């Protein structure tokens, strides 16, 4: 179990899970304030199963690439801790559990579940043909607030779409920063990423523009949420403000000629930003 949790980087669930919970609680607030704990559990399970399937599939598909990369050759499949067959079985099992979970939520989520899986699994192929792979990864995680909102209300709305698009640009931007570590390797293997295609300096500039878009969308999302749920107040804006400050901070940590703090920018800063924002918004809606 420890090896499988490491395989899917379970701790990285911290990025999208708070936004999924925000989507759920916003949906509950605009849907008359009713809160279904059973449905909340199903939403969390959907997040865990979909993300586990996506990460394990990525590790399975990239096992030969990971084995050739000095930075990733210690991962579970290349190092032999988990066999390729076991990893693929883990992917199939999580996909089936994800679809089964959506069945108990509502018909719309169930019928859209193959689309969600196509996006999150399809991302793994994109690095082989387009430097927009970071955007596709962001698209996969952007489904979290939208899907959770659909689970409660059964319909689309602007608030989860704004937050979902913010997540798309946020994740794409910090994934570009993370990919800086593999610029030379990706280029040598003819793999596509923004750093390998544009170079470190230009890739960082693109990441900055993506996060500027994130900031705009986060503010728009907060304004729409404040209008739709008048009970929200200063906690919403504190959460948004801290998220944006940490967004800026991660760009101060990483320079084209200094990648020593990439992991701090990638995991620590973004994890704290997401957790703090989600906690503030949910507290605002509940309290």
**Distance from C-alpha of 251 to C-alpha of 12, rounded to nearest angstrom:** 20
**Distance from C-alpha of 144 to C-alpha of 193, rounded to nearest angstrom:** 24
Instruction: List, for residues 83-118, the tens digit of each pLDDT value.
Output: 999 999 999 999 999 999 999 999 999 999 999 999
Local confidence band at 33 (pLDDT 50, 70, 90 cut-offs): low
Taking 70 as the threshold, does the pLDDT of residue 224 lie above it?
A: yes
Structural domain total, the chain? 1
- The residue with greater pLDDT, 235 or 30, is 235
Local confidence band at 36 (pLDDT 50, 70, 90 cut-offs): confident
For residue 255, what are the β-bridge partners? 258
Give ∠ CA 1-89-98 in degrees, rounded to 5: 85
Question: Which single residue is written with the structure tokens 């193959």?
Answer: 114
Mean of the per-residue pLDDT values of the chain: 92
Q: In the chain, pLDDT over 70 holds for what percent of residues?
A: 99
Taking 70 as the threshold, does the pLDDT of residue 195 lie above it?
A: yes
CB 229 within 8 A of CB 209: no
CATH of the domain at 156: 1.10.357.140
**Distance from C-alpha of 163 to C-alpha of 169, rounded to nearest angstrom:** 10
Interaxial angle between packed helices 234-253 and 158-179, expressed in degrees from 0 to 180 and rounded to the nearest 10: 20
pLDDT of residue 82: 92
User: Residue 279 is part of which domain span?
Assistant: 2-286
Token representation of residue 74: 């210690």
What does the radius of gyration of the chain's CA atoms come to, in whole angstroms?
Answer: 19
Q: 163-184 burial, b if ≥16 CB within 10 A, otherwise e?
A: bbbbbbbbbbbbbbbbbbbbbe
pLDDT of residue 54: 94
Phi and psi torsions of 182, nearest 5°? -110, 20
**pTM across the whole model:** 0.94
Question: Which single residue is written with the structure tokens 């320079």?
Answer: 255
**Distance from C-alpha of 143 to C-alpha of 277, rounded to nearest angstrom:** 18
pLDDT of residue 231: 76
Q: Among positive and negative, which fits the CA dihedral 221, 227, 232, 237?
A: positive
């Amino acid at each position: 179990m420890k090896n499988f949790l490491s395989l899917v980087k379970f701790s990285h669930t911290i990025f999208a899970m708070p936004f999924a919970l925000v989507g759920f609680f916003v949906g509950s607030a605009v849907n008359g304030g009713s809160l279904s704990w059973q449905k909340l559990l199903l939403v969390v399970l959907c997040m865990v199963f979909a993300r586990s399937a996506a990460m394990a599939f990525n590790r399975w598909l990239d096992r030969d690439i990971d084995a050739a990369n000095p930075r990733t050759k210690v991962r579970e499949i290349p190092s032999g801790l988990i066999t390729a067959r076991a990893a693929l079985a883990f992917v199939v099992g999580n996909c089936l559990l994800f679809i089964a979970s959506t069945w108990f939520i509502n018909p719309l989520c169930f019928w859209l579940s193959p689309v969600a899986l196509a996006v999150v699994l399809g991302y793994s192929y994109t690095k082989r043909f387009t430097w927009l792979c970071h955007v596709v990864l962001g698209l996969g995680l952007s489904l979290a607030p939208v899907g959770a909102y659909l689970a409660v209300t059964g319909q689309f709305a602007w608030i989860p779409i704004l937050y979902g698009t913010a997540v798309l640009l946020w994740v794409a931007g910090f994934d570009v920063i993370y990919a800086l570590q593999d610029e030379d390797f990706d280029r040598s293997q003819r793999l596509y990423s923004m750093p390998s295609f544009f170079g470190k300096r230009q890739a960082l500039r693109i990441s900055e523009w993506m996060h500027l878009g994130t900031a705009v969308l986060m503010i728009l999302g907060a304004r729409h949420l404040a209008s739709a749920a008048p009970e929200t107040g200063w906690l919403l804006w504190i959460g948004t403000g801290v998220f944006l400050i940490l967004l800026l901070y991660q760009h101060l940590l990483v320079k084209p000629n200094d990648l020593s703090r990439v992991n701090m920018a990638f995991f620590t800063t973004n994890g704290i930003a997401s957790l703090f924002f989600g906690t503030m918004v949910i507290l605002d809606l509940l309290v």
